[in-house]
Amino acid sequence: MREYQRASVNQLMWCKVDTKNGAFGVTTEDHAGCLASPNMCLADIDTNIIDPRLLQKLFMMPTVVDAITAASLGTTNRQYLKPQEVLDTIRLRLPSLIEQKRLVARIEELAAQIQEARTLRHQATQEAEALYSQQLSIVMMPHDEGWKRETVVDVIESMDAGWSPQCDDLPAKEGEWGVLKTTSVQWCNFQAEHNKALPQSLQPIPHLAVKKGDILVTRAGPRKRVAVVAAVRRDEPFLTISDKLIRLRANLQKIEPRFLELSLASPFSQEHLVQRKTGLADAQVNISQTILKATPVAYPSLIEQCRIVAELDRLQAEVERLKSLQSETARELDALLPAILDRAFKGELLEKSKPSGMSTLPFRHPTTT
């Protein structure tokens, strides 16, 4: 029979395999009495030497994770770490317990500020995206008698279904034929790189290749991914639509392709599509060409359509600029905590903190499975 250990408070716990992924933690009262699996190691922390909360933060440092990875055995991702090597590999200087408590409090204070900044950054991004959605809803709603109300079938020249041959899940190289995935169609954002290379043993169907101005609509998949719309921004002569995509080609005498894209993405058209998605489960629903043809659209003059598209494009560019700035800020925030921890364990975070001599990790005795 396998032997299982029972965890107690203030133990270092780690997984023998995949240690390079940072699977370390310090047990709390919530873990007391729980059984550890044979793949887990437990070591009692000497709380007369180190505050367990400080030890927990030690294992959040990239330099410590790197040291643990270097001590691991194995040539695959399932690296095995000998328990004693954890205890012998890492050496650190420690101040008094009183100073350690002050250090932990300061680290947690700074970590809370970082988390608050992350929250504000996330909220700013959400608000920017919501602003675009609100404006899309407003400007695509028929405003006056100058707008015509019709359905999709009235404003297109053609509607096509695609073809989904068996393909390897590798993108086509330049000049090779490929079949577009549904993920190539994001909301008003066509991403041509999301495709599968067509095997050389199969003949392509050239008339299914997409070109600038084609409007693609996802017709099958998870509920949130059905009736997603994007216009192709440039000719893609070697990329064809799959059978989970519907391609529309606009009647240019009536409607600009980009305007039709925005109209189908707006609540004015989406309400019709959302109510008519069919399927037994949210994981797999569909819309038919018949439903798409009957979807309402409204449009003003071609000149006004171009003006509205330009207005929304400017707003979208501002949103993307803000998101880019927020991503840069996020990377800076992610780098802050490791820098703070590095300063903490060098004795630079508190002015009066004076670490003692170098020692290995302070455990009274290791207990392993």
Supply the DSSP string of 251-300, one letter for each residue: -TTT--HHHHHHHHHSHHHHHHHHTT-EEEETTEEE--HHHHHT-EEEE-
pLDDT in tens, 172-208: 999 999 999 999 999 999 999 999 999 999 999 999 9
H-state helical runs in 143-295? 257-265, 267-274, 289-293
Q: Are 13 and 47 in contact (CB under 8 A)?
A: no
- List the structure tokens of 129: 């995206």
| Single-letter residue type at 134 | Q
Q: Would you tell me how many other CB atoms lie within 10 Å of the CB of residue 25?
A: 15
Q: Mutual orientation of helices 302-345 and 97-139 as an angle, nearest 10°? A: 180
- List the structure tokens of 333: 């925030």
Per-residue model confidence (pLDDT) at position 87: 62
What is the DSSP-derived secondary structure letter of residue 73? B
Q: What pTM, to 2 d.p., does this model score?
A: 0.69
> How far from 204 is each of 217, 238, 245, CA to CA, in Å?
21, 9, 17
Work out the pLDDT band at 367, boundaries 50, 70, 90: very low
Q: Are 177 and 238 in contact (CB under 8 A)?
A: yes
Per-residue model confidence (pLDDT) at position 247: 98
- Average pLDDT of the segment spanning 141-153: 90
Q: Are 87 and 44 in contact (CB under 8 A)?
A: no
- Average pLDDT of the segment spanning 119-125: 83
What are the phi and psi torsion angles at 160 (to 5°)?
-130, 145
Q: Are 277 and 285 in contact (CB under 8 A)?
A: yes
Sheet holding 156-161, edge to edge: 156-161, 245-250, 215-218, 229-231
Work out the pLDDT band at 358, boundaries 50, 70, 90: very low
Q: How far is CA 267 from the centre of its chain?
A: 25
Cα separation of 285 and 256, whole Å? 29
Work out the pLDDT band at 227, boundaries 50, 70, 90: very high
- List the structure tokens of 79: 């690296």
Lowest-pLDDT choice from 197-206, 271-280, 343-352: 343-352
Of 203, 184, 185, residue with least CA distance to 193: 184
3-state SS, residue 315: helix
- Average pLDDT of the segment spanning 244-271: 96
Residue showing tokens 């039709």:
260
Cα separation of 287 and 291, whole Å? 6
- List the structure tokens of 278: 């069919």
3-state secondary structure 186-249: ECCEECCCCEEECCCCCCCCHHHEECCCCEEEECEECHHHCCCEEECCCCEEEEECCCCEEEEE
Q: Are 10 and 361 in contact (CB under 8 A)?
A: no
Work out the pLDDT band at 169, boundaries 50, 70, 90: confident
Cα separation of 166 and 266, whole Å? 34
